[in-house]
Chains A and B, each alone.
Chain A
Amino acid sequence: MTDTVPETKRQPVEDWATDFDHTHPDYAANAPEIWDDLRERCPVAHTERFGGAWLPTKAADVRAIAEDTDRFSSRGIIINDFRPELDIAPRGYAPPITSDPPFHQEARRLLLPPFSPKKIAEWEPMARACCQELLDEVEAELTAGGDVVDAATAYAQDIPVRVIAAMLGLPAEDGDKFRMFIHRILETPGQHEDIDPGETLVAYLSEKIRERRETGADGDDLISYLLTVEDPDGNHLSDEHVFGTIALLLIAGIDTTWSAIGASLWHLAQHPEDRRRWVEDPDVRLFAIEEFLRFYAPVTMARLAAEDTEVGGCPVKKEDWLLLSFPSYNRDPEAFEQADEFVIDRARNRHSAFGLGIHRCLGSNLARLELTVAIEEWMERFPDFELADPGTVRWSTGQVRGPRCLPVRVLGQEVSA
Chain B
Amino acid sequence: MKIIYDRDACQGHNRCYQLAPELFDVDEEGYAVLLVTGEVPAELEEKAKLCADNCPEFAIEVEG
Q: CB within 8 Å of B: which residues of A?
A: 109, 112-113, 115-118, 286, 290, 347-352, 354, 356-358, 360, 364-365, 368
Identify which of residues 20-64 in chain B touch chain A, using a CB-to-CB cut-off of 8 Å: 26-30, 50, 53-58
Could you say which residues of chain A place their CB within 8 Å of the CB of B30?
112, 115-117, 365
State how many angstroms separate the Cβ of B21 from the closest Cβ of chain A. 10
Asked if B11 contacts A113 (CB within 8 A), the reply is: no
Q: A109-B29, A112-B12, A365-B30 are in contact. Are A117 and B56 (CB under 8 A)?
A: no
A117, A349, A352, A357: the one contacting B26 at CB < 8 Å is A117
* Number of residues from B at the complex interface, CB < 8 A: 20
Whole-angstrom CA separation of A368 from B30 in the bound complex: 14
Whole-angstrom CA separation of A354 from B27 in the bound complex: 19
Whole-angstrom CA separation of A118 from B56 in the bound complex: 20
Whole-angstrom CA separation of A113 from B54 in the bound complex: 23
Asked if B56 contacts A351 (CB within 8 A), the reply is: yes
Could you say which residues of chain B place their CB within 8 Å of the CB of A352?
56
Asked if A348 contacts B14 (CB within 8 A), the reply is: no
State how many angstroms separate the Cβ of B33 from the closest Cβ of chain A. 12
Asked if A348 contacts B13 (CB within 8 A), the reply is: no
Could you say which residues of chain A place their CB within 8 Å of the CB of B50?
347
Could you say which residues of chain A place their CB within 8 Å of the CB of B12?
112, 116, 360
Asked if A113 contacts B28 (CB within 8 A), the reply is: yes
Q: A347-B50, A348-B54, A356-B57 are in contact. Are A365 and B14 (CB under 8 A)?
A: yes
29 A-B pairs within 8 Å (CB atoms) are namely: A109-B29, A112-B30, A116-B12, A116-B26, A116-B29, A117-B14, A117-B17, A117-B18, A117-B26, A117-B30, A286-B19, A347-B50, A347-B53, A348-B53, A348-B54, A349-B53, A349-B54, A350-B54, A350-B56, A354-B56, A357-B11, A360-B11, A360-B12, A360-B56, A360-B57, A364-B14, A365-B14, A365-B30, A368-B14
Whole-angstrom CA separation of A356 from B10 in the bound complex: 10
B14, B27, B29, B56: the one contacting A356 at CB < 8 Å is B56
Whole-angstrom CA separation of A113 from B26 in the bound complex: 11
Q: Which residue of A lies closest to B29 (CB)?
A: A112
State how many angstroms separate the Cβ of A275 from the closest Cβ of chain B. 23
Which among A109, A112, A117 has the highest number of chain B CB atoms within 10 Å? A117
Asked if A364 contacts B13 (CB within 8 A), the reply is: yes
Q: A116-B30, A348-B54, A356-B57 are in contact. Are A286 and B13 (CB under 8 A)?
A: no
State how many angstroms separate the Cβ of A117 from the closest Cβ of chain B. 5
Whole-angstrom CA separation of A352 from B56 in the bound complex: 6
Asked if B13 contacts A354 (CB within 8 A), the reply is: yes
Could you say which residues of chain A place their CB within 8 Å of the CB of B18?
117, 286
Asked if A350 contacts B11 (CB within 8 A), the reply is: no
Asked if A113 contacts B29 (CB within 8 A), the reply is: yes
B13, B26, B28, B58: the one contacting A360 at CB < 8 Å is B13
Could you say which residues of chain B place their CB within 8 Å of the CB of A356?
11, 56-57
State how many angstroms separate the Cβ of A288 from the closest Cβ of chain B. 13
The 7 closest A-B pairs by CB, nearest first: A116-B30, A112-B29, A360-B11, A348-B53, A117-B14, A117-B26, A350-B56
Q: A286-B19, A350-B55 are in contact. Are A358 and B29 (CB under 8 A)?
A: no
Whole-angstrom CA separation of A148 from B55 in the bound complex: 40
Could you say which residues of chain B place their CB within 8 Å of the CB of A351?
56
Could you say which residues of chain B place their CB within 8 Å of the CB of A286?
18-19
Could you say which residues of chain A place their CB within 8 Å of the CB of B55?
350
Could you say which residues of chain A place their CB within 8 Å of the CB of B13?
354, 360, 364
Whole-angstrom CA separation of A152 from B29 in the bound complex: 33
State how many angstroms separate the Cβ of B7 from the closest Cβ of chain A. 14
Could you say which residues of chain B place their CB within 8 Å of the CB of A347?
50, 53
Asked if B53 contacts A350 (CB within 8 A), the reply is: yes
